[in-house]
Amino acid sequence: MSVALLEITIYPNPILRSKSKKLEAVGDEETKLINYMVDTMYTNKGIGLAAPQIGILKRIIVVDAGEGLLKMVNPQIISKVGQSLLEEGCLSFPGKLVEIQRAEEVAVSFTDDKNKNCIASFKGLTARAIQHEIDHLNGRLIIDYLPWYKKVFLKRGETKCLQ
């Protein structure tokens, strides 16, 4: 079977800053899109991918952080427990790593690819990847977690000195 590949949206493409729309239901078109996203994630050796990263502003994420493939439509975090700090990458920021504090465990409500409404809890790297991908649906990116002084450098490309 041939693998369907989609081009990854790279920062600063404005699509990455847009908010994705909620889906009414998962139909044939969405199922196809989800499968494209899965192929694209695996080929690029990512552990997660959100639809805006392939230029589509729909609330769909796919995640596989080594504990099996998750396909989530309209995912929403309903509770968070604990905290963990870890460096994270993103396929939309090739070569960049940012240290990010996230919840250690999350409970998530979502619609699966068979249109069933589900609630499940996740921890560790899977929980982190889900939080990262849901951020994408809200236009939030890893660079938003940088400390302010690194943000200044990133935006201006020059050194700013404090008084």
User: According to the binding rule CB under 5 A, does residue 90 interact with Co ion?
Assistant: yes
Q: How far is the CB of 116 from Co ion (least distance, A)?
A: 26
Q: Which stretch binds Co ion (CB under 5 A): 28-36, 60-68, 87-95, 115-123?
A: 87-95
User: 7 catalytic, yes or no?
Assistant: no
Catalytic hit among 24, 88, 104, 133: 133
User: According to the binding rule CB under 5 A, does residue 62 interact with Co ion?
Assistant: no
- Listed as own residue / partner, the contacts of 112-121 with beta carbons closer than 8 Å and 24 or more positions apart are 112/26, 112/71, 112/72, 112/73, 113/26, 113/30, 113/31, 113/34, 113/71, 113/73, 114/26, 115/25, 115/26, 119/78
User: According to the binding rule CB under 5 A, does residue 49 interact with Co ion?
Assistant: no
Contacts of 36 (CB under 8 A, 6+ apart): 4, 5, 6, 54
Residue 30 or residue 133: which is nearer to Co ion going by CB?
133
Q: Which stretch binds Co ion (CB under 5 A): 14-22, 24-32, 84-92, 106-114?
A: 84-92
Residue 73, H or E segment: strand 70-81
**Can you read off the two tokens belonging to residue 88?**
């994270």
Catalytic residues: 133
Binding stretches for Co ion (CB under 5 A)? 90
